Amino acid sequence: MVVGTRPEAIKLAPVVQELSRQDWAEPVVVTTGQHGEVVRETLACFGLRAQVELTLPPGGTSVTDLTAGLLSGLGTQLRSSAADAVMVQGDTSSALAGALAGFFARLPVVHVEAGLRSGDLRSPFPEEAHRRMIAELSDLHLAPTHTAHRNLLAESMAPDRIVVTGNTVIDAVIAASRRPVKGRDPLVRGIELSGAPLVLVTAHRRENWGEPIRRIGRAVADIGRRYPEVVFVVAAHMNPSVRSALEHSLRGLPNVHLPGPIPYGSFARLLARSALAITDSGGIQEEAAAFGVPVLVTRDHTERTEGIDSGLARLVGTEESEIVAAAEKEFAREGVLSGGAIRPRTTPRGNPYGDGRAAARCAAACGWLLGARPRPDDLPKDTEEQL
C-alpha cells in the first residue's frame, strides 16, 4: 500500500485498518517520503505506522524528477518483496509511480478512488493525467461514487473490475472528528470554547501557485475585515513558499489564525464545526460533505462533481471579488446570517460521497481479486446517509 502524501495517508488509513482485521491479508504500508513527518503523524492519528519508509533522492523539485525518484525507489522495494498486489490511492505522483512499479513487477494494481475526471487533461495539473494513466494500469478500480463508475465505463474499463465503494475519506474524517484530540490542541479548544462561527481555509493546488493563491489570501483578508466576529483558520500547506503566498495578506488580522499544517485529528474537529470552507482541495470537498459544511471551491474545474450537483459546493475560481461575493452569498443562502451576526451551521445534509463503510468494501474487493473472498456489493445508488 503506497502512501506518499497526507491525503493518501488519510484515505488509505481506514483500508489498512480493515485489511489488518482480515485473516487472509497482511497490509504492508510503504511511505515514499513525499510528505515525510506529516504522513507519519497522520498515520499515527489512526494508530498506524509504515512498515517501509523510503527516502526521496535530494535535489529534484520538478514533477519529472519527483516521479522518476519515486518510481526508482518503489521499483526496488517491489523487487525485494513478496507482495501479491499493489494498492495506490488517488492521483498523486506517488500513486502513479506505485501503479507503474506494480505493473512493471507484473503484480495486480488496485486503485482506490478510481474514476474521478475533470474532463480537462491539463486541469488539475498533473493530477488529471495521473488518474487517467493509473486507470490503464489497474486491475481493480475502487470507484468512490456512481459518477466515477460511469466515467470508467465511458473509458471502456472492464465492468467486472469496477466496484463502487464510497469514498474512504468519509470513514476517516468521521472517525477522526469523534476521537479525542491528544493533548487537547489549544487552537481547537479555544475555538470550541468561544463558540465563534468558523471559516476553514486551505489552498495548495499546483495550478494555483503564485498569484492565484495570493488572490485567495487577499479575498479571505477582505472577508475577515468585513466580519470581525467570525474566526478564520488558514490551514496552510507544508510547502513554505505556498504557505507564504497565502498568508502574506492575512498576517496581523486578529480574527485570522495561521497555524500552518494542522494535525488531522484537530483538523477534522475544526471542519466538523465550520460554517463554511474555502478551499482548492479535492479531499476537503469530500470531507466537508460528511458534516454538511458548504464549500467554496477556488478552482475553475473540479472532478468532485457530486458536491456541485448536490449544492454542497460551488466553483468560484480565484478572483478576489468572486470569492468575497460568493462567501457573502453563501452566508445568506445557508441562513447563517442572523441580526447581522453569523452563526455556525449545525444541520447536516445528505452525503453524496458515501455511507462511511467504504473501507470494508475496499478490503472485500481486494479479497475477491486475490481469490480469498466473494465479490462485495456496490454502494447502493440511493445512499445519502445523514452522518
Tell me which residues are annotated as active site: 91, 113, 127, 204, 206, 237
Burial class (CB within 10 angstroms; exposed 0-12, middle 13-18, buried 19+) of 85:
middle
CA-CA-CA-CA torsion sign (105, 61, 48, 285): negative
- List 341's β-bridge partners, or say none: 338
d(CA 95, CA 98): 5
Distances (CA, A) of 25 to 44, 120, 122, 263, 374: 21, 37, 37, 29, 14
Burial class (CB in 10 A: 0-12, 13-18, 19+), 231: buried
Q: Which residue has the cell 467554496?
A: 296
Task: For 336-346, give one letter per residue: b (16+ CB within 10 A) or e.
Answer: beeeeebbbbe
Spatial separation of the C-alpha atoms in residues 289 and 142, rounded to whole Å: 20
Query: Closest by alpha carbon to 200, among 294, 319, 307?
Result: 294
Say how far apart CA 1 and CA 18 lie, in whole Å. 13
- Residue 248: φ, ψ to 5°: -55, -45
Contacts of 246 (CB under 8 A, 6+ apart): 203, 213, 214, 216, 217, 234, 236, 237
SS3 65: helix
Determine the angle formed by the axes of helices 168-178 and 358-369, rounding to 10 degrees.
140
